[in-house]
Amino acid sequence: MDETLEEGLDVLDALDIPESDLDRYDQPSIDEEEDLERPVYIEPGIYKGQLIEWGKVYNPMFKKYSLEMTFALGNERLKAWFNIEANNSDTLVKAGWKSDFLRMYQEAFDVRLERRDRMAPNNFMGKPLALEVVSIEQDAHKNPLAKVNHYSRVKKIVGLLKDELA
């Protein structure tokens, strides 16, 4: 095996490729956008964080909409997904009376909503939040994942915190 390695090094020398051309291959080729999508594992628990981005996502396979929320927890980014219903608003979300999102929204703001189509995720933006983080340890088929493949997501917003984020 050592001979193979030495031959490989000799081949590079024999090609006489300038060092400047080889240096560009030493750089990571992963885009920052792709790196943000990399699953992160954090021990399950309640963490302080803040909502940094949200959007409605349509899944054509299930013909349903989801609310995708991205949270910052220190240097890490975690996502949460909630089932919602279709509506024409860009700033408001519509969800069923018994949905996780509607119940979480009412609990976080301590308000009983009169209508289920007037929830604004922007109300969470820029505010310090208590977030329940859970770990995903099995795949969609209920098969256990290897420990190295475990990842985390935000299950729900537990509440609004009074102190400001740094």
- Residue 25 in any domain: the answer is no
Which residue range(s) make up the domain with 90? 41-160
Strand order in the sheet with 129-136: 76-84, 64-73, 45-59, 129-136, 151-160
Q: Structural domain tally of the chain?
A: 1
- Residue 45 in any domain: the answer is yes
For the record, the structure tokens of 86 come out as 């279709």
Q: What is the pLDDT along the chain (166 residues), one digit of tens a residue?
A: 444 444 444 555 656 667 776 666 665 555 555 566 788 999 999 999 999 999 999 989 889 999 999 999 989 999 999 999 999 999 999 999 999 999 999 999 999 999 999 999 999 998 999 999 999 999 999 999 999 999 999 999 999 998 765 4
Taking the model in full, what pTM does it have?
0.75
CA distance 139 to 29: 28
- Residue 103 in any domain: the answer is yes
- Residue 138 in any domain: the answer is yes
- Residue 23 in any domain: the answer is no
For the record, the structure tokens of 88 come out as 């024409």
DSSP 25-60: TSS----HHHHHTS-----SEEEEEEEEEEEEEEET
